[in-house]
């Protein structure tokens, strides 16, 4: 799925490079062939997803066709490299890849990759030739950037025309910043040279990983094959002791995308990056060369960004916010990411309303964390979400807070046990979540502690990036009627994964086989419905700028479906639903006159229009006109927000909008009693 491709070519680094046109001749791409053991490894991966995955894939002709299509999609999602004749030629594999899998063969995967590499090399060399001569930007040509559903080019000449406008657009983006053509051409040429250099570093293990993941993804998007180096990176990131910027990254077409930020980490503290921003280049220190990382392997990008505490890394960012129509270079000082940085945070705000004063306590929970090692060792002061929240609530009680808001925005989950125990702080006892395994066996996870630490007014804020354990807690609070849920529909990740080390099943000399992250179960609410795909729909819902089809489980055609099982026996503990209609009326009335809410609706409309738009102009006058319009709009919004800050003494943003409204709603709830 192509996400906001209108910005796809705001990726060229805004620094001039000295590069000779014949530098590309120093790089020779070689055909990549599989190693002897990789066929058997591929068969092992297939056996794992066929026998141990929740879905239990059937290895047949249907899977063979899906594997072929998914692999081609992964290599060339925008139909920029392969020709229609290549795709027709690949049809010979359509119904034999399942047989290859059972027999332990990966030759077809490597043959397809080598054709992809050859076509990409052709496109890069074509771009080098284009950039030798001055280009015209006064024609009405355009570039079709939404290409995932477009037919592959029928001929080299058709592909040449497509790439001519593609490269012209990349140069135009730079020319609009005032650079001359020669400078722009050198920058674009450098980007393609770096891509060619990166391609030359591709190893047989990389190609195997591409092919194996095209297979595992068919079972569901959270099942992945991790090559040995990737497995090491994953395990390091889970240890919470790495040195870097505190961001989780993943490949998104040719980009590296930020999927989450560690609360308290350097990236989050900087306020310069956001979830779903795309990284197009990385530089070391204040003066180091910005290196394009487009089409790079994720582990190589991680290697560039990670570094020693106290050092500076520069990132070229394409903002996820479509209203920011320019890429930007930011600086982040690396630091050590430790569990302490992710601890739950609290604040108290006093609000006057209807002649009364209310103290509202907010608990920001970045993740459901548990220092398992220290807990297992019997240490008394180990960190966990529930222990920290318990301490905060006791502090709130001393301060006589009237209500509590739990903020789970951008909380991607974590420990299931912590989600269960946290729920127990707000209910007497009872079921919290149901888990169904691959064999259909359902287990109910329960809170058995009768103590209720907080029985006062409670609210939970969620957004599109609240996932997994966050959804379990929010769903339980909603099902019990214990808390009002507000915000955006959540991510919809209602599945359980386990890591499987393949070394225990296969040995080949001193080679490591890697790991499979495997989906083994699904979560269900105590009311019976799954949190998978559907997520949690808030009682009072805010519209989201992030479309379901592009962010969340809806983004993958292979995600497990929503379904339901029998509900558990439980009792509602409050009567929030009886107040809900009145609360919605009060909420809607406030939003009508709220400037930030209007901005949010405007941004959503902008995104919708970009989804409909198919072409970007390579006419310089038209491009600059559109750029100017967006800059004028953004400047006016910035000035309005600064005025709000001057008048009200606080920053204004969509994030503040939801938190402020949450506090208004919980006060409304108390006043309605």
What confidence tens digit (pLDDT) does each residue in 98-149 have?
A: 999 999 999 999 999 999 999 999 999 999 999 999 988 888 888 877 777 8
**N- to C-terminal Cα separation, the chain:** 47
Measured distance CA(336)–CA(284) in Å, rounded: 17
What percent of the chain lies above the pLDDT cut of 70?
A: 89
The pLDDT confidence band at residue 641, using thresholds 50, 70 and 90, is confident
Average pLDDT, the chain: 86
- Which residues, other chains included, contact 482 with Cβ-Cβ below 8 Å and sequence gap of 6+? 426, 427, 458, 476, 573, 574, 576
Candidate ranges 334-338, 383-387, 551-555; pick with highest mean pLDDT: 383-387
Catalytic residue among 24, 468, 470, 559: 468
Query: Are the CB atoms for 304 and 293 separated by under 8 Å?
Result: yes
* Structure tokens that stand for 670 in this block: 């108390």
The better pLDDT of the pair 295, 16 is held by 295
Q: Model confidence at 341, in pLDDT bands (50, 70, 90)?
A: low
Task: Name the catalytic one among 493, 522, 534, 663.
Answer: 493
Tell me what the mean pLDDT of segment 41-59 comes to: 95
Question: Mind giving me the DSSP string for 511-532?
Answer: B---EEEEEEEEEE-TTSBBST
pLDDT in tens, 435-449: 999 999 999 999 998
Q: Which residues does 370 contact at the CB level (< 8 Å), separation at least 6?
A: 382, 383, 384, 385, 414, 415, 417, 418
Domains of the chain, CATH where assigned: 5-219 (no CATH), 242-336 (2.30.42.10), 339-672 (3.90.226.10)
Q: Tell me, what's the pLDDT at 234? A: 57
Tell me if residue 479 is catalytic: yes
The span from the CA of 140 to the CA of 100, in Å, is 49
Active-site residue, from 98, 206, 479, 554: 479
Q: Is 468 a catalytic residue?
A: yes
Backbone region of residue 645 per phi and psi (left: phi > 0; alpha: psi in -120 to 50; beta: other values): alpha
- What is the average per-residue pLDDT within 513-522? 94
Summarised one tens digit per residue, pLDDT across range 556-596 is 899 999 999 999 999 887 667 778 999 999 999 999 888 88
Q: What token pair was written down for 93?
A: 């594999």
Alpha carbons 419 and 426: distance in angstroms, whole number: 12
pLDDT beyond 60 at 322: no
Q: What is the pLDDT of residue 38?
A: 96
Q: Is the pLDDT of residue 20 over 60?
A: no
State yes or no: is 493 an active-site residue.
Answer: yes
Q: What is the pLDDT of residue 245?
A: 81
């Amino acid at each position: 799925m192509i996400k906001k491709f209108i910005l796809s070519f705001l990726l060229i680094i805004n620094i001039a490079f000295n590069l000779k046109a014949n530098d590309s001749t120093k790089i020779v791409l070689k055909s990549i062939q599989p190693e002897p053991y990789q066929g058997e490894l591929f068969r092992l991966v297939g056996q794992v997803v066929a026998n141990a995955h929740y879905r239990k894939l059937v290895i047949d002709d249907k899977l063979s066709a899906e594997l072929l299509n998914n692999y081609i999609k992964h290599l060339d999602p925008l139909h920029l490299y392969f020709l229609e004749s290549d795709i027709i030629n690949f049809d010979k594999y359509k119904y034999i890849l399942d047989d290859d899998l059972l027999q332990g063969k990966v030759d077809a995967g490597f043959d397809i990759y080598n054709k992809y590499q050859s076509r990409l090399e052709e496109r890069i060399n074509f771009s080098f030739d284009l950039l030798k001569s001055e280009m015209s930007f006064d024609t009405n040509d355009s570039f079709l950037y939404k290409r995932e559903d477009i037919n592959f080019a029928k001929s080299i000449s058709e592909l040449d025309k497509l790439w001519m406008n593609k490269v012209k657009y990349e140069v135009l983006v730079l020319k609009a910043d005032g650079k001359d053509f020669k400078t722009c051409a050198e920058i674009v040429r450098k980007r393609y040279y770096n891509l060619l250099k990166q391609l030359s570093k591709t190893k047989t293990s990389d190609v195997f990983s591409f092919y194996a993941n095209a297979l595992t993804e068919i079972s569901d998007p959270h099942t992945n094959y991790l090559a040995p180096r990737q497995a090491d990176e994953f395990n390091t990131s889970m240890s919470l002791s790495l040195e870097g910027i505190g961001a989780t990254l993943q490949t998104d077409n040719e980009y590296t995308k930020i999927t989450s930020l560690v609360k308290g980490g350097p990236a989050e503290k900087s306020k310069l990056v956001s979830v779903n921003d795309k990284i197009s280049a990385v530089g070391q220190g204040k003066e180091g060369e910005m290196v394009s990382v487009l089409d790079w392997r994720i582990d190589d990008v991680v290697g560039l960004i990670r570094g020693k505490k106290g050092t500076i890394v520069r990132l070229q960012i394409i903002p996820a916010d479509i209203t920011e129509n320019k890429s930007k270079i930011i600086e982040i000082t690396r630091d050590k990411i430790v569990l302490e940085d992710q601890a739950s945070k609290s604040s108290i705000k006093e609000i006057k309303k209807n002649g009364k004063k209310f103290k509202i306590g907010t608990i920001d929970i970045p993740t459901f964390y548990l220092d398992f090692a220290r807990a297992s060792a019997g240490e008394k002061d180990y960190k966990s979400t529930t222990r920290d929240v318990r301490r905060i609530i006791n502090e709130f009680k001393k301060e006589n807070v009237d209500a509590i808001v739990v903020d789970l925005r951008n909380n991607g989950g974590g420990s299931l046990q912590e989600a269960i125990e946290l729920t127990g702080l707000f209910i007497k006892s009872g079921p919290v979540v149901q888990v169904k395994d691959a064999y259909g066996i359902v287990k109910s996870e329960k809170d058995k502690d009768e103590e209720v630490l907080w029985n006062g007014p409670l609210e939970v804020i969620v957004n599109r990036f609240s996932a997994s354990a966050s959804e379990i807690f929010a769903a339980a609070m909603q099902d019990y009627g214990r808390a009002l849920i507000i915000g955006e529909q959540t991510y919809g990740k209602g599945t359980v994964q386990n890591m499987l080390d393949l070394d225990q099943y296969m040995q080949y000399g001193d080679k490591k086989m890697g790991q499979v992250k495997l989906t083994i179960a699904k979560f269900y609410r105590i009311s019976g419905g799954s949190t998978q795909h559907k997520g949690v729909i808030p009682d009072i819902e805010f519209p989201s700028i992030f479309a379901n089809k592009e962010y969340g489980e809806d983004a993958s055609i292979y995600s497990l479906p929503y379904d339901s099982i029998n509900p558990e026996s439980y009792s509602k503990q409050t009567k929030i639903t009886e107040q809900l209609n009145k609360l919605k009326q009060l909420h809607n009335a406030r939003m009508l006159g709220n400037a930030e809410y209007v901005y949010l609706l405007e941004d959503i409309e902008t995104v919708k229009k970009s989804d409909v738009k198919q072409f970007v102009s390579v006419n310089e006058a038209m491009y600059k006109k559109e750029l100017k319009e967006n800059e004028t709009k953004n400047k006016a919004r910035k000035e309005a927000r600064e005025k709000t800050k001057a008048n009200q003494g606080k920053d204004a943003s969509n994030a503040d909008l939801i938190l402020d409204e949450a506090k208004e709603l919980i006060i409304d709830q108390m006043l309605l009693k």
